[in-house]
Every structure is written in structure tokens, then in C-alpha cells.
Structure 1
């Protein structure tokens, strides 16, 4: 990983990312209402109908990873969490919690009171705040498995990065009138662009692990969007996303998760290399 100068980040990447993310908001009014209450239900699971749905979701995702990854330290995940991932995970979680707070306040999405406990932290259900720490912790276990088992598939995958940038930017231009679509795409574009700037060698590894991660994502995200319940826990404003769902969740959620996870890994590598460089300079 090449460590970019602060000036390069300040004068190039940060303004470009800010423009991509912020431009759709200029002079744009969120269309109120129009929430999609029902998801595309695949099967009804009665035990999920109630205010403990989000808690059940967290327990089902967290307990296996905690047991195998932390208690048994499979694939050296315990060391990876404490030494490399914990600090960047918390930092990125705070950024995405702010995004969640903003979009909830704007009416881009809302939370069904029938499936949450009713206790809020900064206008978010406390279960939602926990999501930003539990789910990346679980998701990065998949990344760690691929990292150990499959030695960096596709390398830096620069060609794939450029192709994704072109395709996603075209989609961004077509969806600038939908706030969630535009923001999800712009966040993904910004993170891929940053991985190019820093010449991150782990992009291919991340893509391989993210593709595998889409399998459990379908189930666990589906639990929150009406795949297994009569109504969705997270209800989206139909005017602010493209209307395409995978199982029961909007395709934009993939960009949300992509940006969140790759941001953690980029920040982790940046901190590791910056500390290493500082240590070398002071020896």
C-alpha cells in the first residue's frame, strides 16, 4: 500500500468524494412518505414476529463468529480484530451511524416499531446502533478466512477497479434523483477511487470475500427487510431508491455494505503503514 501525502488526499480525493456524495442533495427535496411496508416475503417465521426480531438477528450473526473467531481464534481472527480492525471499525461505524441518522431524519428510511424495543440512541433504535459494530465484525471474519485460505486472489485487480468505476459512475449519473441510490453509488465509487490512489494490493482479496459475503447478507439483511416476516423492520421510501431488490433488500444496500467494509480495511492498512513509517523515521 502506497501512503499518499496528506496534500494529495486533501486536494484531490476528499473534494472529489465530497462532490460526488453531496451534489445530489443540492436543491433537492426528499419526497415524503411512500414507505414500502412489506418486503418480498419468502416464508413466514412466526417466532420472528415481535419486538425481539432485531435482537434475534444480532444473536444469530454474532454468536457463531464470536465463538469460532474469538474464543477458538479460527484463522487468527482474534489477533486480527485486536491488532488491526477494532479501531478502524469503530471509526467507520461512527461515520455510517451519522449517515443513518441523517437519512432517518430526512425520511429516506424508517424503522417499524412492531419489531424493535423502542429505546433510541440519537433518534436511532439501539439495536440499529449495535448493527454498525456487530455486522462488520461478523463480515470481516469472512474476509479473514479468504485471506488465510486463498492467497490474495486477483492481486490489486486494477483493471476491475477501472471497469467498476466507469460502470458505477454511469449508474450514478442515471440515479442522481434518488438520494439513497446516488449516495450508495457515490460512496462505492469514492472508496474504489481511494483504493486506486493508495495502490491497495488487497482489492482482489476484498472482492472475493465480498462476493462470498453476499450469501449470508441475503439472509441477515432479508430478516430486516421482510423476507421472513409480514412487514419489514427497515422500511424504505420508494421514491429514494431504484426499486430493484435482491430477495427483499434494495440493491443499494450492497453499496452501503461495500463502502463500509472496504473503508474499514483501507483505514486499517493506512494506520498500520503510517505507524510503521513513523516507527522507521524515529529509529
Structure 2
């Protein structure tokens, strides 16, 4: 059973949001499956390439005890599924919240202040940690994303930054499992020489910014690809 743990974590995280996507009376999210999966795949290809490189460079590695043993380009098949299924499930939460609770969002000034603050913070950490490759890349990419947000003022940010706080709840549950909080040994090992060594529970702090960059990139692509906005609940 242990050999299927990573596969089970990824699959169970995906199955409920996916099945609920077919519900027709309210959200009916499956109607957007083409642009949604396209955005996930395009964003995922970049992060998978990153993942392959980091695996080869031993920035992180995988525990064979919890894997089926199937590997594609240095990555276990479970990791490939992670980049397809987890973004679907995570960003489904955002659109479900947007549908059922459409009002809460940051104002334009507040959103700009948050983006500027996050950019300065991420850029500072990036500049002073160039020797730690995971820290440098995760915070560097996040800083670039915040810079693009400042320049182009993507409207999705005003709400997504709030949704992400909710998405962090299942993120911490799944990632804590992957990083060994609930198992004898971690499913994913991190080389602490390549990160800040700051952990939230068992999770390296870099994972949060890595996760945001992956998910928000797919959100921006999805909003670009889909032809009509998701219908929001009307009063």
C-alpha cells in the first residue's frame, strides 16, 4: 500500500473537484475544460522542465518507498500527475469561491500595494540568496510574476490573492504529507543547502511561492484562453 501513497494523495486531491465540475445547476465548470486544461498543460510544461532539472541537480529527490516505480524523464509518474491534477483541483477552489462568494476582493489601490510589497520582498530574498538555487529560482520567478502584475495590472489578482489563502489549507495538508509530517520518512526529500532552511511544519517556505507561481500562471493563461467569463451567482 505504501508504494501507492503519492499516487493516492494526488488522485484523491483531484477526484472531488473534478466530479463536482460536472454539476450543471450552478458552477458547471467542466464547460471550460478545453481552455482550463490547455492553461494547466502550458504552465505545467515549464514547471516540469524545472522539476526535471532540479531532480538531476539533486535539489530534491523522491523516496522509492512511496512510489509505483514508473519514471518518465527522471521524474516518477506521480510527479507528472501532480502538475496536471493538483492545479486543476487548486484553482477549481478559486472559481468555486468566485461563483458562490463573488464580492470579496482587493480594491485597485490595495492590490497594487500588495503586489509592490510582495515584489520588493521576493526580489530582496532573491538577490541575497543567489547561491541557494531553489530559493533563488522560486522567489525570483515570484518576483518576476509580481513585476508583471504591477505593469499589466491583471484583474484576476484582486480576487485570486484572497482565494490563495483558502487554497493554502489543502496545500498544507497534501504538502505536509509529501514532506514527511505524517509518514516515517518524506516522500520528497529537499536538499537544505539549496533553500533557506525555513520550514512551516515540514514544508520549505519556498514551496508556497513556487505553488503560487504555478497556479497563478495557469489562472492568467486560462483567463486569456476562455472566451466568456464564468457566470457568477446573481443576487
Q: TM-score, normalised by structure 1?
A: 0.75
The Cα of 1:267 is off from its aligned counterpart by 1.9
Q: Give the paired residue count.
A: 225
Which residue in the other structure is 2:55 paired with? 104
The Cα of 1:57 is off from its aligned counterpart by 0.2
After superposition, the CA RMSD in angstroms is 1.8
2:114 counterpart of 1:160: yes
5+ residue gaps, structure 2, are 229-235
2:45 counterpart of 1:94: yes
Which residue in the other structure is 1:54 paired with? 6
- Indicate the SS of the match to 1:70: coil
Q: Is the 8 A contact 1:155 1:201 kept in 2?
A: no
Which residue in the other structure is 2:150 paired with? 196
Q: Is the 8 A contact 1:168 1:185 kept in 2?
A: yes
Q: Is the 8 A contact 1:155 1:203 kept in 2?
A: no
**Cα displacement string for residues 107-158 of structure 1 (whole angstroms, at most 9, x for unaligned residues):** 1000011110111011100111010000000001111022221336014411
Equivalent position to 2:139, from 185, 202, 211: 185
Structure 1's 72 and 250: CA in aligned 2 closer, same or farther, altered over 3 A?
farther
Which residue in the other structure is 2:21 paired with? 69
The Cα of 1:249 is off from its aligned counterpart by 1.2
Task: Considering Cα pairs closer than 8 Å and 6+ residues apart, tell me whether 1 or 2 has the greater RCO.
Answer: 1
Whichever of the two has the greater Rg, that structure is: 1
The Cα of 1:58 is off from its aligned counterpart by 1.6
Q: TM-score, normalised by structure 2?
A: 0.89
CA distance in 1, matches of 2:203, 2:53: 20
The Cα of 1:79 is off from its aligned counterpart by 2.3
Which residue in the other structure is 2:88 paired with? 137
Q: Is the 8 A contact 2:11 2:85 kept in 1?
A: no
5+ residue gaps, structure 1, are 1-48, 277-283
